[in-house]
């Protein structure tokens, strides 16, 4: 009995020793399992939005978060607040927060781009930029030149049919601060008009600074029109709807509204119930929907197959969005911003607004 | 703190009215001259210079392009004058009263503008809309004055700060706003009276009222006195606080008037649009010879100044310059005017 007891005690002690040893042996496996669970945390996509007080910039953040939700990713959206300091600070936040990819709309700090990209590169975070190309980042943007030319051609056709191309004045309302975007978009519109009406002499084309705002384009337009008081047949192109409408309003103030027609860009003032009757059309970009166009690229990054960044991001973007030129009559059937945003976010991930709303596909 | 316990200004001690009042007491002759006890009105020399420069500009432009002298040019210039002119009168009152400048002009313009289009969109009677515009503008001025007086902070710092806060608030309130094209206000804004824009006449009325009443009314004389020397004004029993409140509330109400002209003539606007009016407003009062050190200035000259500056921008379009080259001259005028103002201040201290 005593031997049995002794054996039982020894066996129990041995078992008691083996179990912890086995448990200890299993610890690394458990740690590994925990680590595996941690590495399976969802792909995190982050975005710095423009913060210029424009609805589509807020919308881009909303659409990105909607996509992340549909894809099972996590997301962080911060406003760059149209400030260089905030933009740079946001880069630090994105890096510390462990973002797997960052989307930037950065209108405020072109001078900080090399430093920002160096930080992202050191943290091995791929970056996608919207509309403002940055070396080292994937560029997703509208084809501004095509947008300009197509809008100009549509206005040119109207000039041809209405006035047989006998134009007295073609006003191009620029926003020089936008750089190449202005050159391609506004310059493209002039090219488009001249495609249809090549007989319009260069002397009839007058450039002014509209600043991208009605309140800047309006006085500038008054001055240009006053300087050509005998012009009867006047057409206006510009970098966006605001500069074109500002110039049209100037003509109305000078009592010359019967003489003027215009075609805008960006579609911001061609929908709704308050459209100026002299704005004959515009070109939609559906800016708020850009993240949908970037989705295939984000999926490749999430899958660990990020493509190489193209060297010449400016003229050779990773994703080139298609512009959608529309007449004012067609634009009446295009939903307003809020309705578009709502429908887009309710659609399957990857659905573009161009596919949903453009009447001239 | 009771006003009579305020520190002596001439000793450079911080005061509720800010450091711009911490300077030597001016001789009373400045006030007397402003009230008309002198044969030559205040700012006559400045007025002659502006008229001379304006005349030379018009003559030169007409010689270069005979079509410069057209009704179209007159319309372009007078449309441009209207909003800047009204805002400049408010800015001039602030400067004359010794508060140097109101940098919250962008918010002061857009906040009542937003109120106007919001009320118009709800079909509110235009007379109530006008009252609302004045009330919102006045409330903004009151808000600034409360911080300046009770916070005892320099007005430039306060209005710079409130403008940032106001810009943020406007961006939260709305993204873009539109005056209904079919509204009476929009139609009035495109209309003319006696060959000039409808929106020009309220500006002319505002300048005339300010030019006439500021040197003659009790409130106006208090503004001049406080701006000239707060110490002397206090010794005369003038309440610095009440004067400061009056100046900013009146200036805010003038922003409400400007907002009516703005929404009548610029039918689509965004929160940031007000910033386009700050520099022209500053240029106008500086060219008009309104002393940024306070206590002096002839409000009638605001009319000449805004007319001259508006004509410069219109004339440049006649010279066939690239649009890029049309931007430096107004800035150059501002720099020259600031230099002249600085020279004038140095000379007045001798």
Q: How far is A71 from chain B (nearest CA, A)?
A: 30
Q: Is B236 on the interface with A (CB under 8 A)?
A: no
Q: Which residue did the predictor score with more confidence, A306 or B204?
A: B204
Class of domain A44-143+287-323+335-357: alpha beta
A44-143+287-323+335-357 and A145-284, same CATH topology: yes
Q: What is the pLDDT of residue B33?
A: 44
CB contact under 8 A, A207 and B323: yes
Out of 3.40.50.10470, 3.40.50.2300, 3.40.710.10, 3.80.30.20, select the CATH number for domain A145-284: 3.40.50.2300
Over residues B264-284, the pLDDT tens digits come to 999 999 998 999 999 999 999
Residues in contact with A116: Cβ distance below 8 Å, sequence separation at least 6, in sequence order: A87, A88, A91, A106, A109, A134
Q: How far is A90 from chain B (nearest CA, A)?
A: 19
C-alpha B300/C-alpha B204 separation (Å) is: 10
Which of B271, B308, B314, B318 has the alpha carbon at shortest distance from B65?
Answer: B318
CB contact under 8 A, A274 and B181: yes
pLDDT, average across residues B153-177: 91
Q: Is B172 on the interface with A (CB under 8 A)?
A: no
Do residues B278 and B106 touch, judged by C-beta distance below 8 A?
yes
Q: Which of A49, A53, A228 to mutate to test the interface with B (most CBs of B within 10 A)?
A: A53
Q: Does this complex have an ipTM over 0.85?
A: no
Q: How far is A223 from chain B (nearest CA, A)?
A: 5
Strands A138-142, A127-130: pairing kind: parallel
Residues in contact with A115: Cβ distance below 8 Å, sequence separation at least 6, in sequence order: A88
For the domain spanning B42-55+83-345, the CATH number is 1.10.3470
Q: Domain map of chain A by residue range?
A: 44-143+287-323+335-357, 145-284
CB contact under 8 A, A253 and B272: no
Q: What is the pLDDT of residue B67?
A: 94
**CA gyration radius, chain B:** 20
Tokens encoding B263: 């929404």
Mean pLDDT is highest, among A138-152, A188-202, A273-287, for A188-202
Name the residue among B67, B72, B273 with its Cβ closest to that of A225. B72
Which of A290, A273, A285, A270 has the alpha carbon at shortest distance from A324?
Answer: A285
Confidence grade of residue A113 (pLDDT, cut at 50, 70, 90): confident
Confidence grade of residue B17 (pLDDT, cut at 50, 70, 90): very low
Alpha-carbon A133 to chain mean position? 11
pLDDT at A64 over 80: yes
Count of alpha carbons within 13 angstroms of residue B34, beta-carbon side: 29
Greatest alpha-carbon pair distance for chain A in Å reads 127
Q: Which residue did the predictor score with more confidence, A31 or B254?
A: B254
Name the residue among A226, A272, A274 with its Cβ closest to that of B76. A226
Confidence grade of residue A3 (pLDDT, cut at 50, 70, 90): low
Q: Is A215 on the interface with B (CB under 8 A)?
A: yes
Contacts of A276 in chain B (CB under 8 A): 181, 267
pLDDT at A99 over 70: yes
Q: How far is B140 from chain A (nearest CA, A)?
A: 21
Helix, coil or strand: residue B79: helix
Confidence grade of residue A16 (pLDDT, cut at 50, 70, 90): low
pLDDT at B14 over 80: no
pLDDT, average across residues B150-173: 92
pLDDT at A111 over 80: no
pLDDT at B11 over 70: no
Confidence grade of residue A26 (pLDDT, cut at 50, 70, 90): very low
Name the residue among A209, A211, A253 with its Cβ closest to that of B79. A253
pLDDT at B25 over 50: no
Q: What is the pLDDT of residue A1?
A: 43
pLDDT at A15 over 70: no
C-alpha B22/C-alpha B20 separation (Å) is: 5
Confidence grade of residue A32 (pLDDT, cut at 50, 70, 90): very low
Mean pLDDT is highest, among A1-10, A294-303, B31-40, B283-292, for A294-303
Q: Is A207 on the interface with B (CB under 8 A)?
A: yes
CB contact under 8 A, B313 and A223: yes
Do residues A75 and A65 touch, judged by C-beta distance below 8 A?
yes
Over residues A219-256, the pLDDT tens digits come to 999 999 999 999 999 999 999 999 999 999 999 999 99
pLDDT, average across residues A308-335: 82
pTM of the entire predicted model: 0.80
pLDDT at A216 over 70: yes
Do residues A279 and A237 touch, judged by C-beta distance below 8 A?
no
CB contact under 8 A, A226 and B70: yes
Average pLDDT, chain A: 86
CB contact under 8 A, B178 and A268: no
Tokens encoding B286: 């500086």
pLDDT at A39 over 90: no
Q: Which residue did the predictor score with more confidence, A40 or B53?
A: B53
Q: What is the pLDDT of residue B39?
A: 59
pLDDT at B27 over 70: no
Instruction: Find the range with the poorest average confidence among A48-52, A132-136, B248-252, B257-261.
Output: A132-136
pLDDT, average across residues B94-102: 93
pLDDT, average across residues A306-332: 82
Q: What is the pLDDT of residue A316?
A: 66
């Amino acid at each position: 009995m005593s031997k049995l007891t002794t054996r039982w005690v020894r066996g129990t002690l041995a078992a008691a020793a083996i179990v912890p040893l086995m448990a200890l042996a299993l610890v690394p496996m458990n740690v590994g399992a925990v680590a595996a669970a941690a590495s399976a945390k969802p792909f995190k996509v982050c975005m710095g939005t423009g913060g210029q007080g424009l609805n589509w910039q807020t919308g881009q953040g909303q659409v990105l978060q909607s996509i992340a939700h549909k894809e099972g990713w996590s997301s962080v959206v911060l406003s760059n607040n149209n400030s260089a300091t905030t933009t740079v600070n946001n880069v630090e936040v994105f890096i510390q927060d462990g973002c797997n990819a960052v989307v930037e709309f950065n209108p405020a700090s072109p001078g900080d781009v090399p430093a920002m990209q160096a930080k992202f590169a050191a943290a091995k975070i791929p970056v996608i930029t919207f509309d403002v190309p940055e070396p080292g980042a994937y560029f997703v943007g509208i084809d501004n030149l095509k947008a300009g030319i197509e809008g100009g051609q549509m206005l040119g056709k109207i000039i041809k049919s209405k006035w047989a191309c006998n134009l007295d004045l073609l006003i191009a309302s620029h926003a020089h601060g936008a750089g190449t975007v202005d050159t391609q978009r506004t310059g493209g519109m002039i090219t488009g008009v001249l495609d249809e009406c090549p007989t319009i002499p260069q002397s009839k084309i007058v450039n002014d600074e509209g600043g991208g705002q009605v309140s800047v384009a309006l006085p500038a337009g008054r001055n240009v029109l006053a300087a050509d008081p005998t012009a009867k047949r006047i057409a206006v192109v510009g970098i966006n709807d605001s500069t074109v409408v500002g110039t049209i309003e100037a003509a109305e103030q000078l009592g010359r509204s019967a003489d003027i027609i215009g075609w805008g860009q960006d579609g911001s003032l061609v929908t709704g119930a308050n459209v100026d009757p002299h704005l004959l059309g515009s070109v939609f970009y559906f800016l708020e929907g850009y993240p949908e166009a970037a989705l295939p690229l984000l999926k490749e990054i999430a899958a660990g197959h990020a493509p190489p960044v193209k060297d010449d991001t400016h003229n050779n973007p990773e994703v080139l969005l298609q512009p959608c030129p529309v007449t004012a009559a067609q634009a009446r059937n295009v939903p307003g911003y809020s309705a578009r945003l709502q429908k887009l976010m309710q659609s399957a991930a990857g659905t573009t607004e161009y596919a949903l709303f453009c009447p001239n596909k | 703190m009771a006003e009579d316990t305020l520190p002596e200004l001439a000793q450079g001690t911080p005061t509720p009215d800010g450091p711009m009042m911490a300077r030597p007491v001016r001789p009373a002759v400045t006030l007397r001259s402003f009230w008309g006890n002198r044969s030559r009105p205040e700012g006559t020399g400045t007025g002659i210079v502006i008229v001379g420069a304006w005349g030379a500009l018009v003559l030169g432009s007409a010689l270069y392009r005979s079509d410069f002298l057209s009704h179209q040019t007159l319309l372009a210039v007078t449309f441009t004058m209207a909003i800047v002119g009204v805002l400049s009168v408010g800015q001039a009152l602030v400067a004359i009263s010794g508060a140097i400048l109101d940098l919250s002009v962008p918010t002061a313009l857009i906040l009542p503008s937003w109120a106007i289009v919001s009320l118009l969109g709800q079909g509110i009677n235009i007379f109530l809309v006008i009252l609302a515009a004045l009330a919102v503008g006045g409330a903004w001025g009151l808000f600034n004055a409360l911080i300046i007086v009770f916070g005892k902070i320099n007005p430039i710092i306060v209005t710079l700060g409130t403008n940032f806060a106001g810009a943020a608030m406007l961006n939260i309130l709305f993204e873009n706003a539109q005056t209904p094209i079919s509204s009476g206000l929009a139609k009035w804004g495109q209309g003319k009276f006696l060959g000039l824009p409808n929106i020009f006449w309220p500006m002319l009325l505002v300048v005339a009222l300010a030019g006439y009443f500021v040197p003659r009314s009790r409130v106006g004389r208090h503004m001049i006195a406080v701006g000239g020397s707060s110490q002397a004004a206090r010794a005369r029993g003038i309440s610095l606080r009440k004067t400061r409140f009056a100046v900013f509330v009146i200036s805010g109400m003038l922003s409400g008037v400007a907002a009516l002209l703005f929404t009548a003539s610029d039918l689509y606007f965004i929160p940031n649009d007000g910033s386009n009016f700050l520099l022209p407003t500053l240029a106008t009062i500086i060219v008009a010879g309104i002393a940024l050190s306070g206590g002096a200035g002839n409000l009638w000259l605001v009319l000449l100044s805004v007319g001259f500056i508006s004509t410069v921008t219109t004339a440049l379009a006649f010279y066939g310059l690239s649009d890029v080259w049309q931007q430096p001259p107004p800035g150059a005028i501002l720099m020259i005017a600031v230099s002249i103002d600085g020279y004038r201040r140095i000379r007045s201290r001798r």
